[in-house]
Amino acid sequence: MGDDEDYTISISDSPTIVFDNMNTITLGSSDSVDTFSIDSILKSARPYKSDPSETIISYKVSPLAVVLQLLDNGVETWQVVERMLGQSVNELNISEANTLLADEIKEHYRAKIINDTLSSKGRRSDYRSDLIMALALLDMYQTKRSFIPMLIKLPEFYKEDIKLENIAASYTSVPNVEVNDGKVSELLDVELKLVDQVRVNRRNLKGHSLYFADSNNKLYVLNTDLKNSLLPFISMLESKTIKLRCRVKPVHQRFHEFNFYSILDKYEVLEIT
């Protein structure tokens, strides 16, 4: 492969840490580090997509904080990767707010990954395997080029996650027995109030989820396309009671451990008061 400097880019004044391979990752805070073999954590995982010998890039601060600052400065998402690889990013003034937010996001997903690792019996996706490694590198103010698109999306995923956590904590979960049964209801009339909205923007899922609650504090979710022309008017419904005629199916939200009713297509709005 040649000398270290042939495959390492440093854009910081701090020492550059070079990895010939990534057989060990960090799952602890930067001042109290616990290391685990990747194999011991991802026993059933498929190989991650990133190349273990890929160039590691070092920064003066967390690269996630750099991403947040670039986005705050109005840099288009498609331009962030190029800016992250340029020397000029070294002169970027990172706000304290973005430094703190970057750390919050990192610790949020670190906790989720550890919890999921301990509880999951299924295969881990390539994305989650890469996320584990990307979080470990953030502790050392480092990343890889292939991880930068992931870092760009993390703030949006974080906002979605926090909203869902608040929803799960505030409303009554539909009984597991109904979810396990999985039956679609008969046509029914329900009175609901809009309690929150979550925008989902992912490669394989783009939409807008509207969360409603009934008089028993149980949740009903209506999913709609991001391009739905009625979305700008949804906020007008926040203080209203909506009577719907619809069919619903009980659904489990895995990573937030709550159940809700999914409103199926061909519903009818009977009344808004």
Structure tokens at 153: 């999306």
Let me know the angle formed at the C-alpha of 156 by 261 and 265, rounded to the nearest 5 degrees.
30
- Specify the pTM: 0.69
* Angstrom distance (rounded) from CA 243 to CA 266: 14
Instruction: Domain ranges for the chain, please list them.
Output: 4-164, 171-272
Please give the structure tokens belonging to residue 62: 């967390």
Q: What is the pLDDT of residues 222-272, one digit of tens each?
A: 888 877 777 778 777 878 899 999 999 999 887 777 899 999 988 888 999
CATH of range 171-272; options 1.10.287, 2.60.40, 2.40.50, 1.10.3470? 2.40.50
List pLDDT tens digits, range 38-91.
Answer: 333 233 233 345 566 678 999 999 999 999 999 999 999 899 999 999 888 888
| Side chain identity, residue 84 | M
Are 258 and 173 in contact by the 8 Å Cβ rule? The answer is: yes
